[in-house]
Structure 1
């Protein structure tokens, strides 16, 4: 299975560990979303978009946008990634 890459990566603070992860594909975005304890509106949208991208139903850039919005909602974005 090929990864669904997007650019630039979205740098986020990981929950619990306080380390940094640069998320650059839909699979990694979904993996990171599953670790989050809060599942807000943007989280739900991002998860749906990740699944659609992995199923080749949407473009990876849409995943980046949705993941970035979810990370901002959770306060996990480390710097401006727009």
Structure 2
């Protein structure tokens, strides 16, 4: 399976203080979402977009835009 790339990358804080993940593909965005502990409606929408992009139902750029609108740090 090939990665679904987007640009520019989205900076996401990780659980490690001061460390940010530069997400530049749908699969990376999905991986980060799966590490979040708070899984409300916005989280579910973002995961669904990632799944849709992985089966080419939406363009990766749609995921990037949606992901960049999410909180930049992991919801706890």
Would you say same fold, with TM above 0.5?
Answer: yes
SS in 1 for 2:64: helix
Q: Which residue of 2 aligns with 1:80?
A: none
Count of aligned positions: 73
Structure 1 spans left out of the alignment, 5+ residues:
78-82
Superimposed CA distance per residue, residues 2-53 of structure 1 (whole angstroms, 9 cap, x where no aligned partner): 1000111000101x22211000000000000000011122211110000000
Instruction: Supply the distance in 2 between the matched residues of 1:50 and 1:5 (Cα, whole angstroms).
Output: 12
Scaled by the length of structure 2, what TM-score is found?
A: 0.86
Scaled by the length of structure 1, what TM-score is found?
A: 0.81
